[in-house]
């Protein structure tokens, strides 16, 4: 009887440890307050946000092409979008026992901005204003920023997003005014 109890407790501890691995990975990117830095000469006046980051390659390897589907900006972008959705959204029951769920979005200002930027870049490519390579590169940078700032304090960054007038200014903000400092 004592052996069964020890085995059950061991299994429960093992399972709870596995569940916290994803959370631990997210905590690695916690950067505290973003560090606003004065803009470089020749840049628009404003802040350059700096956040700690780490490579998402191991997480992207776990996403198959079938899961990601096809995207105009390529396979890597499609996988990053799946990862973005996994990290930023979750389904919770409306009420316990009811099969209906609602989607909860973590940091909706950032998530919605990424979706608007994707739509704008697709339009730019279709109109011939940007090349596919340029738009793809910009959107991958936007996705990298969004994936790495999820667990950081982004209050000032979100305020800056809300103060931008156009999606093009948001693209500029994500691609040229955020520095990701990669950690080992």
Per-residue pLDDT tens for 87-132? Answer: 999 999 888 888 899 999 999 999 999 999 999 999 999 999 999 9
| Tens of each residue's pLDDT in the chain, 184 residues | 666 656 566 566 555 554 444 444 444 434 444 444 443 444 444 458 999 999 999 999 999 999 999 999 999 999 999 999 999 999 998 888 888 999 999 999 999 999 999 999 999 999 999 999 999 999 999 999 999 999 999 999 999 999 999 999 999 999 999 999 998 7
Q: What angle do CA 72, 142, 53 make, to 5 degrees?
A: 130
Contact 83, 60 (CB under 8 A): yes
Contact 143, 114 (CB under 8 A): yes
Instruction: Please enumerate in sequence order all residues whose Cβ is within 8 A of that of 104, keeping only pairs 6 or more positions apart, or say none.
Output: 89, 90, 91, 92
The burial of 141, by beta-carbon neighbours within 10 Å (0-12 exposed, 13-18 middle, 19 or more buried), is given as: middle
Q: Is 3 contained in some domain? A: no
Q: Is 97 contained in some domain? A: yes
Q: Is 152 contained in some domain? A: yes
The pLDDT score that the predictor gives to residue 27 is 42
Q: Is 18 contained in some domain? A: no
**Residue labelled with tokens 């009811």:** 98
Contact 80, 140 (CB under 8 A): yes
- Residues spanned by the domain of 54: 31-182
Q: Is 5 contained in some domain? A: no
The pLDDT score that the predictor gives to residue 41 is 43
b/e sequence 170-179, b meaning 16+ C-beta within 10 Å: bbebbbebbe
The pLDDT score that the predictor gives to residue 158 is 97
Q: Is 15 contained in some domain? A: no
Torsion sign, CA atoms 102, 91, 104, 75: negative
Domain count, the chain: 1
CA dist 54 and 137 (Å) reads: 18
Contact 31, 152 (CB under 8 A): yes
**Residue labelled with tokens 């440890």:** 17
Which residue from 49, 65, 168 is spatially nearest to 117, judged by alpha carbons?
A: 168
Which residue from 121, 123, 28, 29 is spatially nearest to 81, judged by alpha carbons?
A: 121
The pLDDT score that the predictor gives to residue 98 is 84
The pLDDT score that the predictor gives to residue 1 is 66
C-alpha dihedral (5, 11, 13, 17), degrees to nearest 10: 180
Q: Is 20 contained in some domain? A: no
Q: Is 14 contained in some domain? A: no
């Amino acid at each position: 009887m004592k052996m069964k109890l020890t085995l059950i407790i061991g299994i429960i501890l093992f399972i709870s440890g596995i569940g916290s691995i994803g959370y631990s990975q997210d905590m690695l990117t916690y950067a505290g307050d973003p560090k606003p830095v004065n803009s470089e000469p020749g840049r628009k006046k404003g802040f350059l946000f700096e956040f700690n980051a780490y490579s998402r390659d191991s997480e992207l390897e776990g996403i198959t092409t079938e899961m990601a589907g096809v995207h105009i900006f390529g396979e890597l972008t499609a996988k990053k979008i799946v990862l973005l959705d996994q990290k930023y959204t979750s389904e919770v029951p409306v009420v316990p026992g009811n099969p209906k769920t609602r989607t909860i979005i973590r940091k909706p200002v950032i998530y919605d901005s990424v979706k608007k930027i994707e739509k704008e870049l697709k339009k730019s490519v279709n109109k011939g204003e940007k090349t596919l390579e340029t738009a793809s590169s910009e959107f991958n940078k936007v996705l990298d920023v969004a994936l790495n700032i999820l667990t950081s304090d982004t209050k000032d960054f979100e305020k800056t997003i809300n103060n931008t007038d156009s999606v093009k200014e948001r693209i500029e903000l994500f691609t040229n005014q955020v520095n990701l400092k990669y950690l080992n």
